[in-house]
Structure 1
């Protein structure tokens, strides 16, 4: 099986690339990104630097692929700050890629990285597969548009697509401080290194988290799963946990840490990242997608 990953140089993309390379069922891995992709050993890996909208790059990198995993996008706050760029990448280039594949490689498995930002706030408790969508952010609205397009292409037999929605993916070391969610990843590394951190949420604020290892494995599962059924867009399993519980688990994991953790709730950030209900993921569970079973598992898979 040949797999192409677009956006392979990012946090999830790099872990995903390692898993694909180690998978004996995968015979070729094509890695695509606009940035330089860290070199990887192995004869079945080929890297391509460029924009995934380029016709020549598509023909070279995606030709023969049994599955294409699309991670590349303009994320949350960046999409809010630059609507034109977000529309170009998240809508125009993404839809154009779907059309390109449907014309050149009909029936290709396409795994699209969507987002839990398709849900509105406040969320009902619990969130289930039948929870209505009401995205408030440009990023969430654009991802929802592409979910609908990919599902429609699949129903027409043009592609074999699936849109999966990861929750907060932990824990990127050196996460961009400009990202409003950066404090969540920083928490893991601050405790590990004994550094102090002030969290802009309350101790009892609840969020959804999944380790990068868990999320990457679920993208591999989506690429390889023979039969997906009729539901082609769903949320991946994640832990619904309070920051107090996460801090306690990190203290257990790193008992020698001298990190001082304080809570300085910011109402905006509590609303964005600390007001999550319980999460039920019936479709993903039925299809065998994985979860971090405990907070300790989350920590191990994250760092």
Structure 2
């Protein structure tokens, strides 16, 4: 099996490349990114640098592969700042990629990285498979648009397509502190290094998290499983937990750390990152996707694979 990955130099992309290379079913990985990155020196990896806004690059992505895993996108704050430029990458390029892949054959698989941002903020408790997307941010709206295209392509048989919505993926070291969500990963590394940290949420604020190892494994599953099942837009399983429980788990994992975790809630941060309800994902569970076993295993697997920069 030959797999192409866009955004391969990103946090999830790097871990996914490594995960696929460990599977004997994978003959080759074409790893695309817009920036130079330290791709694995491996005979089964070809790293390609280029812009998806270039039609020739999209053709290169879909050429001579069985599966495309499309991770590349313009993320939240950048999409809000430049919505038209973000739309060209997040929507136009994604649709063009699907169209060109479908021309190669209806058996080709397209795995799209959506986001829980597609769901919006006004969520029921618990969130289940029946929740309709109501995005409030440009980034989430773009993801929801491609979810519609994925569902249509799969339903009409034009493409073996699926969209996956991961939750907060932890824990990337050195994440840009300018990102509003950066504190999610910074918490892990601060405790590991014995550094104090102030979180802009309350101890009982609740979020959805998944380790990088878990998320990479779920995208690999989507690429490799013979039958994706009937549901083609899935919220991936994740742990619904409080920041207090996470801080306690980090203290257990690093008992000699001198770090102190302080909580100083800010209304906007609590709204965006600390007001998540319960989460139930029976369709994804039935399709073989998994969550971290518990918060302690999440910490272990986030830190094991989270130091890719």
CA distance in 2: counterparts of 1:53 and 1:224, whole angstroms: 28
Counterparts of 1:147-158 in structure 2, within 5 Å, are 147-158=147-158
User: Counterpart of 1:136?
Assistant: 136
Q: Deviations over 1:163-191 (max 9, x none)?
A: 00000000110111111100010000000
| Matching of residue 283 in structure 1 with residue 280 in structure 2 | no
Counterparts of 1:126-275 in structure 2, within 5 Å, are 126-275=126-275
Cα distance, 1:21 vs structure 2 = 1.1
Residues 58 and 96, structure 2, Cα contact 8 Å, conserved in 1: no
Q: Deviations over 1:62-104 (max 9, x none)?
A: 3221110000001111111111121111111111111111123
Counterparts of 1:86-125 in structure 2, within 5 Å, are 86-125=86-125
User: Counterpart of 1:79?
Assistant: 79
Residues 197 and 262, structure 1, Cα contact 8 Å, conserved in 2: yes
Residues 202 and 265, structure 1, Cα contact 8 Å, conserved in 2: yes
TM-score by length of 1: 0.97
Q: Deviations over 1:228-252 (max 9, x none)?
A: 2221001001000000000000001
SS at match of 2:223: helix
User: Counterpart of 1:55?
Assistant: 55
TM-score by length of 2: 0.95
- Equivalenced residue count is 303
Q: Deviations over 1:32-67 (max 9, x none)?
A: 000113131321111110013433334444322111
CA RMSD of aligned residues (A): 1.1
CA distance in 1: counterparts of 2:62 and 2:112, whole angstroms: 15
SS at match of 1:162: strand
Range with greater deviation from structure 2 (52-61 or 194-203): 52-61
CA distance in 2: counterparts of 1:251 and 1:142, whole angstroms: 38
SS at match of 1:136: coil
Any gaps of 5 or more consecutive residues in structure 2?
Answer: 304-309
